[in-house]
Amino acid sequence: MPAGAAPIQLSGERRFQLLVDSIHDYAIYMLDPQGYVVSWNPGAQRLKGYSPDEIIGEHFSHFFPAEDRRDGLPQRMLAKAFKEGRYQTEGWRVRKDGSRFRASVVVDTIRDENGAHLGFAKITRDITERFEAEAALRLSEERFRLLVQGVIDYSIYLLDTDGRVTNWNAGAERMKGYTADEIVGQHFSRFYPEEDRAAGAPAHSLDTARREGRYETEGWRVRKDGTRFYASVVIDAIRNESGDLIGFAKITRDITEQRRTREALEEARIALFQSQKMEALGQLTGGIAHDFNNLLTVIVNSLDLLRRRAKDARDLRLVDNAHRAAERGARLTQQLLAFARRQALTPASHDVNTLIRGFEPILRRACGEAVALRVDLVHRPTPVEIDAPQFEAALLNLVVNARDAMPDGGRLTVASGLLEVDAERAEGWGVKPGHFVAVHVTDSGTGIAPEIVERVLEPFFTTKEMGRGTGLGLSQVYGFVRQSNGQMEIASTVGQGTTVSLYLPLGEGVVNADDAPEHGAAFGGYGTVLVVEDEPEVLEIAVELFHALGYSVLTATDGAAALDVLKRPDSIDVLFTDVVMPAGINGLDLAREACRLRPRLQVILASGYPIPATSPQLAGLANAAFITKPYRWSELAERLKSLRAGGNALE
């Protein structure tokens, strides 16, 4: 107001009219008692599109959709406002241009000081944006609710701040067995195993989610029927706009099958690693045994030659002592070769039950008086193709180990049975699927810890005290069984005992092999022998042996040099060659080429890696014999005698 100007005098009615006319966001107007418009503010014109001249005198039902007019909604509103003095609602309204908007409506009854009804005051506000936002939110919430309820493979539910269940989806009911009525309001800790509840796991999970916003874990959970399942669990803290914690969202997934798959894969990985490790150890021990056999060949035969020349009793005693030590070394290499699956086997068809019964007296003596031995054999034929003495040695090894595991006595069972091995199990074993004969040696002894079971087949690994074992017993059994196309398994529980199982392929019939022929006596030979050996010490002792047997000797240090000698016109009666030689022509190739050049040539193959007589590597070699290092001069003489008699020691 300008300085000095007199204030404008306005009546109360005029002031109110100016106030109403200045409001543009609300439609404020009056109706007479029948609902006809008698006033109209600028907010009403802006909201509904009508000017005062267009709408004053018109019935207010003009603003309602046709369906509401047909339903009598305008009349009911006025009747309710007249009766109660006020009526408030929300609904759709229609502008002049026909467009609709969502309106918040208040209708008040107007009376004079005497209570006479003068009409109605009506205030309308456009809430379309808010209504659409709320509708979108409701739709989103409904869709989310339907989504959550439609998920049956996940348990999805909410917890209050104390951990009580506030809602429950169909997946939770399917997974845990509770209906919503049974579980809403209950504490979520009831899904945990007793030992986890005692350890405070439920409280820890909520504390972590409250502190860090999220908690994720895996563990066992319990269904309503008491069964357990392995679960993947995620708990998220839920906070409002102010950051206050209002509860937790919990998602649980049953991963029992995935866990079993993971465990199976891990077991397969461990088995593969163990198999590769055993194979690597086999190659290593086989190589060591081969080299050691070369050394023993020199030692044993040098002692043989010395003994033939020694006269003094003391010298003879020293030579005999050295001989016994060398023989122990030879047995050690045979054990190493057994583990490496390179021992010379003479397989024949035998009935396992017959072998066990025939060997039972020795097994009982090995058990001693403190161990009760029980033999339980299947009442069916059990034919297998095996080397009988090696099988008996393996069985004796297992019985002695079992006896040692029961220092205070106990029970020991040797049992046989039949087992069908499917393709999956056969692949894991590294054998062909089919029927197998099972031999189980079970004791009631101290048992073996799981981490030791994994190592007991390794050569030189032993749990026995110093001086009571070389650690080659089980590895020798393992090598024998694997070389016989079978498998070996060990099951043990600490404090309860151990079962070692041998599985051997079932054969078709039983023809017990004759006993091995006795070694022939040494004899003096004559003629010329070509000795082929790359190790100088072994070559030297072989030359000495053939000289002692009456032969003239030619030598070569590799296959190529030997072929040069064979192509010369010299008379050669015998080829004596090492099988394994440096790069170039090996002993087998040399023998084949030598027989082609000299068809009447006699061949003796020598190796620290014994080759079975049935090996396809030896096919086509006529008038040939095989000898395993370390060989004795008497064995060499026997091979020569057999060849001179026209036999073939490979047949």
Residues 238 and 380 grouped into a single domain: no
CA distance 645 to 651: 14
Residues 477 and 366 grouped into a single domain: yes
Tokens matching residue 323 = 């001989």
CA dihedral 322, 324, 327, 328 (to 10 degrees): -100
Q: Which of 131, 160, 193 is the last residue of a domain?
A: 131
Element spanning 217, H or E: strand 214-222
Residue 82 in contact with residue 116, Cβ under 8 Å? no
To the nearest 10 degrees (0 to 180), the angle between helices 633-644 and 536-548 is 60
Return the pLDDT at 280: 53
CA distance 105 to 44: 12
Residue 651 in contact with residue 622, Cβ under 8 Å? no
Residues 565 and 452 grouped into a single domain: no
Q: Is residue 378 part of a domain?
A: yes
Residues 368 and 499 grouped into a single domain: yes
Over the chain (651 residues), the average pLDDT of each successive run of 10 is: 49 52 76 93 90 92 92 93 92 92 92 90 90 74 57 78 88 87 91 92 93 92 92 90 88 86 71 54 51 63 70 70 63 50 63 84 80 84 82 82 86 90 84 91 85 62 46 66 84 88 80 33 59 85 81 86 86 89 82 88 82 55 81 80 69 45
Which long-range contacts (C-beta less than 8 Å, at least 24 apart) are formed by 73-78?
A: 74/35, 75/35, 77/105, 77/107, 78/31, 78/35, 78/107, 78/120
Residues 405 and 499 grouped into a single domain: yes
Amino acid present at 377: L
Tell me if residue 557 falls in helix, strand or coil.
coil
Residue 461 in contact with residue 454, Cβ under 8 Å? no
Q: Which of 204, 232, 254 is the last residue of a domain?
A: 254
Q: Residues near 365 by Cβ (< 8 Å), separated by ≥ 6?
A: none
CATH number at residue 549: 3.40.50.2300
CA distance 648 to 638: 12
Q: Is residue 143 part of a domain?
A: no
Sign of the C-alpha dihedral computed for residues 186, 189, 191 and 193 taken in this order:
negative
Q: Is residue 493 part of a domain?
A: yes
Q: Which domain holds residue 630?
A: 528-644
Residues 608 and 636 grouped into a single domain: yes
Q: Is residue 269 part of a domain?
A: no
Q: Is residue 173 part of a domain?
A: yes
Q: Which residue has the tokens 């467009």?
A: 99
CA distance 227 to 346: 55
At residue 515, φ and ψ (nearest 5 deg) are -65, 150
Residues 465 and 549 grouped into a single domain: no
CATH number at residue 54: 3.30.450.20
Sign of the C-alpha dihedral computed for residues 137, 139, 145 and 147 taken in this order:
negative
CA distance 578 to 621: 15
Return the pLDDT at 402: 85
End-to-end CA distance of the chain: 136
Number of domains in the chain: 4
CATH number at residue 398: 3.30.565.10
Residue 445 in contact with residue 498, Cβ under 8 Å? yes
Residues 376 and 498 grouped into a single domain: yes
Q: Which residue has the tokens 């030992």?
A: 195
Residues 408 and 484 grouped into a single domain: yes
Q: Strands 117-126 and 154-159, how do they pair?
A: unpaired
Beta bridge partners of 521: none
Beta bridge partners of 158: 249
Residues 59 and 105 grouped into a single domain: yes
At residue 137, φ and ψ (nearest 5 deg) are -65, -45
Q: Is residue 59 part of a domain?
A: yes
Beta strand ranges found along 449-596 (DSSP E)? 487-493, 497-505, 528-532, 552-556, 574-578
Q: Which of 205, 236, 254 is the last residue of a domain?
A: 254
pTM, two decimals, is 0.35
Residue 587 in contact with residue 605, Cβ under 8 Å? yes
Q: Is residue 332 part of a domain?
A: no
Q: What is the largest CA-CA distance in the chain?
A: 159
CA distance 512 to 381: 13
Residues 482 and 561 grouped into a single domain: no
Amino acid present at 62: H
Tokens matching residue 570 = 């010299």
Residue 605 in contact with residue 589, Cβ under 8 Å? no
Residues 436 and 583 grouped into a single domain: no
Q: Is residue 297 part of a domain?
A: no
CA dihedral 279, 284, 286, 288 (to 10 degrees): -170
Return the pLDDT at 647: 57
CA distance 210 to 187: 17
Q: Strands 528-532 and 574-578, how do they pair?
A: parallel
Return the pLDDT at 157: 84
Return the pLDDT at 340: 42
Q: Which residue has the tokens 């199990």?
A: 425
Helices (H), 4-163: 12-21, 42-48, 52-55, 66-70, 73-84, 128-150
